[in-house]
Each structure stands twice: as structure tokens, then as C-alpha cells.
Amino acid sequence: MFVSPRLLQVFLLLTLLILPAAPMFGQATIATGSIEGTVTDPQGAVLSGAKITVSNQATGQRLTFNTTSSGGFSTGALPPGDYVVRAENKGFQTMQVPVTVRVGVVSPTIIQMKVGSEGTVVNVESAAVNVNTEQATVQGVLTANQIENLPVNGRNFLDLAQLEPGVQIQDGTNFDPTKVGYSSLSFGGRFGRTARIEVDGVDVSDETVGTTTQDIPASAIQEFQLSQSNLDLSNELTSSAEVGAPATPVETGCLARIAAWDMPQLGMLHIIARGERRFRILGRRVEPNGLARASIEMLPDDIDAPVPEQCKSCVRLLERVIAQQGEGLFEAPHRLDSSAWVSARLAELLPLPLSAKQELFELTDARARLERLNNLLGR
């Protein structure tokens, strides 16, 4: 089991609560990074359908998938660490490329295949340094080795941020006399009292006078990222700064309709959205001003079918959940005879890995999705 390390995040907080009505499953990237890449032949033409295996060197965990029609692949959220990306395709030698994943960073890689036997494995000792064109930020990542060995004046966990240019520590007593021993961060001369600070995705900001509600020793931090951007829609910032992990989009998503919203306190916005039609990202880019753009194609609706007899246990489970939690748990109508509706609701409720939820989300055959969930529940 992977235990998430302590990560820091300083930003203007915006909380999104996604409660989909269509088969929509939420994803998040807290304390993670990702790998995105392209597989080509020796002439530079993209290879679709190539088998990609991403292995975590420390834990042995593996992810397996195929490249898209444009030869690309994206791992989604990954714990920071050292990985090996293995690419296989018929008629080409198998390539293995080492990639290091950092917190909040999209690690790009281009794998150029060589003609030959699939049984021949080529280990690339060091991959070429690729420019990150996916994120419009100036960023730096501090590793566990740096945290342990670099000289820091004091052991407050925020002191580590001074290792990055443009970051200053502001003493908590400048904000309030009760904040002896507490600190906040100033990015590029900005006042640090309004900074939002998160540890492992939990907000520890002091709403009253600034700084934090708790101190954590630097030895408890494995890795963290500092990034600054005037406008970066991937992390919902305008003119501010962030320490943590921006979101990395997957290739298939869905439109969202805002159904309700409220602001329980200043600076925090709660949004309830309903998932609608699915789409696939064909290409995306980040403009010089930080605006993220993507070209998409809309996907057809699910191929629905009545719930098969062998999956009636899924319906009974959902009926028990609704009876316990109330009719308002899901938006009406409750279509318990529909494979599409039942499978989507179960996929929301079950504690499945995000990769499994995304795989279910991308299925277009509702009955196949329900049968797969029924098999998981029967284990």
C-alpha cells in the first residue's frame, strides 16, 4: 500500500464538488505528478496501439495501456519517484526509458522505436531532457535528499520554501503576537498573510490571523513543489503562487453543468455540477498567457440495455444504499432497470482506484460496464 507523503500547497482555495448525473467519475492529483509521452517509429511517424507499461521502481506497481491514435499516452496521477516506461510494438524492438516523476510536474518523454525483434529489449540509460510544454509555470521541486541535506535555518516545514528563488518567509508575529514560532510565505514580494497552505490536501491555514494552525517538522516532508504563474487554469490560480500538484487532464472527460453553488466563507466556493455528454481530447496546448486550450470530439451516448438477470444483485445493493441514505442521494428519476444508470451510480459509490473508474467511464457498452462491476462485487 502506498502512503502519501506530506506535501505542501499554498494557493487561493477553490473547492469543486462534482456530483455527476451521467457516468462521470471524479479524479484528483494531490501529492502526485504524471508522465505524458509519444511513441514514434525511426522516421518520427507516430505509432498508435503500442503497448505501454509504466513501473514504479520502488514499489513494483505497474500500469499498462496502449497509445492513442495520435501515438500519445498519459499515465494520470502517479506518486513521486523513479519509473521505467516500457514500449512494445510488433516489428520493433522493445524500449525501456527511465523517467523521474516529481510532485506537480508533467514529465514529458518521447520514445523512438527501432526496427527489430520484439524480444530484443533496449534500455535507454538516460532520456533526453524535454521542455515541459504542458504547464505555463515557473516551478521547482525539492526532493527528499535536498530536504535532508541542504542547510536550512530552522526546522519549520515552511523554511524549505526559501530554497527556491523569489520566496521569503514572513514571521507569524508580524501578523499576530500569538503566532510565535509560526511562519507564512511571500512569493515575489506578495503579502503572506492571505496565503492558503495545505498539507496532504488538508487546509491548515489560520483563517483568523494568517499563517498555519499547526507546525510540522521538515523531516516529515518527503517532497514538495513551488510554482508561480500569472494565469494557470490547470491549478485554478490567477495572480498567486502554488506549492503542490496541478491537475493533469485525462483524454476522455465529460461536459459539466453547474446545478447549484454557494460561498460558505470568503474565498471558498462550493459548486455542484452534473455530468453530461462525454468527449475525447484530440489535442491540447497552453497559450503564452497561460490559457489552456483543447480540441475535442463528442462521444456517442451509452448503448443502454435492461439489467441482465445475473446482475440483479447490483440493483439490490443500490436499493439498500438508497434506502439508508435517502431518495435525494441521486438525482431523479432512479432508473433501476437501466444498465447505464445502475452501473454509473455504482461506479460513483464503490471505492475503486481512479484508473479503474476512468476505464469504466470510457466504456460505451453499459451492460459490459455493469457486468464488470458485478464481477468485482462477486470477488
pTM above 0.85, yes or no: no
pLDDT of 77 > 60? The answer is yes
- Percent over 90 (pLDDT), the chain: 18
Residue 34's φ and ψ, nearest 5 degrees, are -160, 170
The CATH number assigned to the domain with range 33-134 reads 2.60.40.10
> Which has the minimum average pLDDT: 157-166, 258-267, 322-331, 346-355?
157-166
d(C-alpha 284, C-alpha 250), whole Å = 11
Average pLDDT over residues 334-359: 89
Q: pLDDT tens digits for 159-199?
A: 767 766 777 777 777 777 777 777 777 766 666 666 667 66
CA distance 292 to 313: 44
Report pLDDT digits (tens) over 96-111. Answer: 999 988 777 788 888 9
pLDDT at 342: 92
* CATH superfamily of the 309-378 domain: BPP1347 like domain (1.10.4060.10)
From CA 238, how far away is CA 197, in angstroms rounded?
16
Amino acid sitting at position 105? V
Smallest CA-to-CA distance from 73 within 250, 236, 296, 308 is with: 250
Model confidence over 3-43: pLDDT tens digits? 333 444 443 333 333 333 433 433 334 467 888 889 999 98
pLDDT for 348:
86
Q: What is the pLDDT of residue 83?
A: 93
Fold agreement between 33-134 and 309-378:
no
pLDDT computed for residue 7 by the predictor: 41
Closest CA relative to residue 6, chosen from 245, 205, 248: 245
pLDDT over 70 for what percent of the chain?
65
pLDDT confidence band for 267 (50 / 70 / 90): low
CA distance linking residue 73 with residue 36, whole number of Å: 6
- Give dist(CA 285, CA 253) in Å, integer: 17
Among 114-123, 201-210, 328-337, the range scoring the smallest mean pLDDT is 201-210
pLDDT at 277 over 80: yes
Instruction: Give mean pLDDT, residues 221-231.
Output: 58
- Quote the mean pLDDT of the chain: 75
And the C-alpha cell for 191? Answer: 503579502
Q: Where are the domains of the chain?
A: 1-30+135-299, 33-134, 309-378
Q: Which residue has the higher pLDDT, 354 or 367?
A: 367
Does residue 243 have a pLDDT over 50? no
